[in-house]
Amino acid sequence: MKKRVLALLTATVMTAAMIAGCGSDAGTDAAATDTASEEQSGAEESEADSTEAADDTADASAEGETYHIGICQLVEHPALDEATKGFQEALTDKLGENVTFDLQNAQGEQTNCSTIVTQFVTDGADLILANATAPLQAAAAATNTIPILGTSITDYATALDIADWTGATGTNISGTSDLAPLDEQENMLVELFPDAQKVGILYCSAEANSKYQADVFKASLEEDGIAYEEFTAADSNEIQSVVTSACESCDVLYIPTDNTMASSTELINNIALPAGVPIIAGEEGICKGCGVATLSISYYDIGYTAGEMAYDILVNGADVSTMEIKYAPQVTKEFNSDICDKLGIKVPDDYVAIAAE
């Protein structure tokens, strides 16, 4: 009897233990399941956070991309200075501190232009700005892969020797032009000096775009039956003798947008003003230094437009080879009140006085 009772108790205890054991395993399994679920959820959230962080980093990287621009300016004078200023301010307005500039002045020397742009290529510049014809030609010779933008270029077909001109170069070059309506400049000369018998056209023979303007201007003079003579200087050393000769034989002088002449306006004025010979200028800077009147563009504006084109190339991926050359949106009749007063010249009311510095 005792053995039967003992066996029964033992069986009961074992059964209870088994039930307890089963209950413990179930709870453990449930806990494990809950833990695994939580870990999976956490991993998914962590992965999502990592992906989002990576996206943010990519965005930040794109927004923070920096660009290095090489600028070669032929010589220091007001027109080119304004074009460079406009270009830099356009890109700074759009890119802030993410753009840097290496501004180099060639001091009027073609060989210096070549040295400067070659260094830009070696340094891996993202884009080159060529301010004036000689830097443009040097940049074109230095690279056919880095985008090049020109500014203060009168005629790109002449500067780059492109025979079949379509409005775009088809190469790694585009930019803005400083070409003002030359026929209207000739009309200005006729308007102010209707009795002029002979016009002297003064420019530097080393500047291809100056010759281009001179040829167009001569054609307009021929249409009006006005005699003319060309006076050219190979460089700044010849300006004094050339201007003296021009003033001795002409009633009026015309100077196109010419960098060599623009750098020597004080010298030119010191000869032309005492001789009583007025000068019609191709742009405001020359007019301010030695001219009586000009039909001028804003060099700041064409520089700023070139900067906007640079942004489109660098950030938006625009194809420089298909970008058409852009021109100044407007021209203004301007006069130099100081020189006009000294020569006794009265201009019509639609002329605007050039602001004194």
3-state secondary structure of 279: strand
Residue 171's H or E segment, with its range, is none
Partnered with residue 293 across adjacent β-strands are 280, 335
pLDDT in tens, 282-328: 999 999 999 999 998 999 999 999 999 999 999 999 999 999 999 99
Tell me the C-alpha distance between 350 and 208, whole Å.
32
Give the model confidence (pLDDT) of 196-210 as tens digits: 999 999 999 999 999
**What domains lie within the chain, and their CATH numbers?**
67-178+299-324 (3.40.50.2300), 182-296+331-353 (3.40.50.2300)
For 161-184, write each residue's pLDDT tens digit. 999 999 999 999 999 999 999 999
The candidate with the shortest Cα–Cα distance to 211, out of 155, 265, 164, is 155
Percent of the chain with pLDDT over 70: 82
Task: Mean pLDDT check: name the lowest of 58-72, 123-137, 230-244, 248-262.
Answer: 58-72
Structure confidence at residue 357 as a pLDDT band (50, 70, 90): low
Q: Three-state SS for 150?
A: strand
Short-list 259, 210, 236, CA closest to 76: 259
Q: What is the pTM of this model?
A: 0.76
Strands 148-153 and 279-281, by their bridges, are unpaired
CA distances from 341 to 17, 26, 218 (A): 121, 109, 28
User: Three-class SS of residue 177?
Assistant: strand
Structure tokens at 21: 């054991």
The pLDDT tens digits for 39-73 are 444 444 444 444 443 343 333 334 579 999 999 99
Q: What is the mean pLDDT of the chain?
A: 86
Closest CA to 150 of 175, 121, 128: 175
